[in-house]
Amino acid sequence: MSENKKILAIYSYMDLLIDTIKELRSKGFEDIRAFSPVPSHEIEDALDKGYEPSKVKYFTLCGAILGACVGAAFTVLTSLDWPIVTSAKPIVSVPPYMIIIFECMILIGGLSTFLGLIINSRLRKNVDPIHYDDRFSNDKFGILVTFDNADFEQVEHILRDFGSEELKLDGEILKEKVVEPEPLEEATEEPPTQEKPTEEKESDS
């Protein structure tokens, strides 16, 4: 347990990030979290199975049903509470109440979706700030891998080979950049074709 470590790798390019995720998963590292400045289906696809689909839909559905019930109960019960005939209409006249029911459905459904968003994304053990980099909201991508200490070498190797620009082990920078290209044969059977573990990106304006 105490052996678990987290390493954060920072990338400039999304395709390198996705290749890395695929490689890590093929080597059995499933506890991966990816950061990006944009939502990306590619990243989601690369990480699939690792995460169950978001539960926010249940919040939406339950909120909408609850809202409609509240709207119906509110209009009907208050009308019955003081039964007064207006415009020769029945005490409980359903058509106008549908409008109130509809609005309550949207209101409570919307608010519970918001609650669902907060509960599902924030309170669910969000990332520790030491495993975050300010550039993720700008132009960098990143992955956070949790692994057993024994696998450290292997993980580091994969991350370096696949073009990460910076590695942070539990918040400490491991090295600035991959200085020397190490064209090793170990990272062989990576499914994505192109990328040889070559030199780092050179023009970094």
Partner 1 sequence: MSQIAEADKYSNLNKTVMNMLTRPSFGWWSIFIVDLIFLAFGIYCFIYQVYTGLGVAGYSHPVLWGVYITDFVFWVGIAHSGTLISAVLFLFRAKFRMSIYRIAEAMTVFAVATAGLFPIIHLGRPWNFYWLLPYPNQRGLWVNFDSPLLWDVFAVSTYATISTVFFFIGMIPDIAAIRDTVVGKTKKVLYSVLSLGWKGSNWEWSTYTRAYFYFACFATPLVISVHSVVSWDFAMANTPGWHTTIFPPYFVAGAIFSGLAMVITLCIPLRKIFKLEDYITMENFEGMSKMIILTSCIVFYAYLIEFFVAWYSGNKYEYDQFLYRATGDYAFFYWTMMFCNGIVPHALWFKKIRNNLVILFIISLLINIGMWFERFNIIVISLSKEFEPGSWGLYKPSWVELGITVGSFAWFFMFFLIFVRTLPALSIAEIKEILPVPRKNGGSNHE
Per DSSP, which regions of the chain are E strands? 4-11, 32-35, 141-148, 166-169, 172-175
173 with 7: CB under 8 angstroms? Answer: no
Tell me which stretch binds partner 1 (CB under 8 A): 22-30, 146-154, 171-179, 193-201: 193-201
Burial class for 113, CB neighbours closer than 10 Å (0-12, 13-18, 19+): middle
String marking each residue 4-43 x if it binds partner 1 according to CB under 8 A: --------xxxxx----------------xxxxxxxxxxx
Distance of CA 169 to the CA centre of its chain: 21
Smallest separation (angstroms) from partner 1 to the CB of 135: 7
Q: Roughly what angle, to the nearest 10 degrees, separates helices 152-161 and 14-26? A: 150
Among 79, 146, 151, 157, binds partner 1 (CB under 8 A): 79
Does residue 200 contact residue 162 with C-beta atoms inside 8 Å? Answer: no
* Whole-Å CA distances, 154 to 74, 93, 150, 189: 62, 71, 9, 15
Number of residues that bind partner 1 (CB under 8 A): 71
Nearer to partner 1, 5 or 192 (CB): 192
Torsion angle of alpha carbons 159, 163, 169, 174, nearest 10°? 130
Write down the least CB distance from residue 174 to partner 1, Å: 21
**Residues in region 85-144 near partner 1 by CB under 8 A:** 86-87, 89, 93, 96-97, 99-100, 102-104, 106-107, 109-111, 113-114, 116-118, 120-122, 124, 126-127, 132, 134-139, 144
Minimum CB separation from partner 1 for residue 81, in Å? 6
Stretch binding partner 1 (CB under 8 A), from 71-79, 151-159, 165-173, 174-182 = 71-79
Only one of the segments 2-10, 83-91, 147-155, 165-173 lies at the binding site for partner 1 (rule: CB under 8 A); that segment is 83-91
